[in-house]
Structure 1
Amino acid sequence: MERDAIEERLAHLIRTTDELSDVVAAQADRIDLLERRVEMLMAREAEREAAGGGGVVLGDERPPHW
């Protein structure tokens, strides 16, 4: 393989690696955000359960007003 072809392939590989690195960094940021949101929702639900309200009526359960 001649030198120009090798340099061209190397440049392409470097660009691809940089693009993939950017994608991975963006995904890591998104995962961090989603984990914080899940933690917030879990804490909110734990508070709601501790307060004894806000339950969800499931299938064959009767609502509390019956």
Structure 2
Amino acid sequence: MQHLEEQIAHLARTVEDLNSVVTRQQDEIDRLTRRVEMLMRREGERAQEGSGGIVLGDERPPHY
């Protein structure tokens, strides 16, 4: 009986540890998703303005 209780305690601890890892991973996924959405929105605005934001060769940037 004691052996079963030890196994259950071990399994409960493992589940808690895994839950912690999954929670951290989900938080990071949420943060990265927000960042990608922000970058996509910013790039969309740049495309609408007609400037790709890339300076090619000897072309002067718009602030000159």
| Bucket of the pairwise TM-score, normalised by the shorter protein | 0.7 to 0.9
Q: Which amino acid aligns with 2:45?
A: E
Q: Which amino acid aligns with 2:3?
A: A
1:9 aligns with 2:7: yes
2:41 is aligned to 43
Distance 1:41 1:14 in 2: 41
Distance 2:41 2:48 in 1: 10
Q: Which amino acid aligns with 1:4?
A: Q
State the 1:64 CA deviation: 6.3
* Structure 2: unaligned runs, 5 residues or longer: none
| TM-score w.r.t. length of structure 2 | 0.81
| TM-score w.r.t. length of structure 1 | 0.78
What RMSD in Å do the two structures reach over aligned CA positions?
Answer: 1.5
* Structure 1: unaligned runs, 5 residues or longer: none
Distance 1:22 1:8 in 2: 21
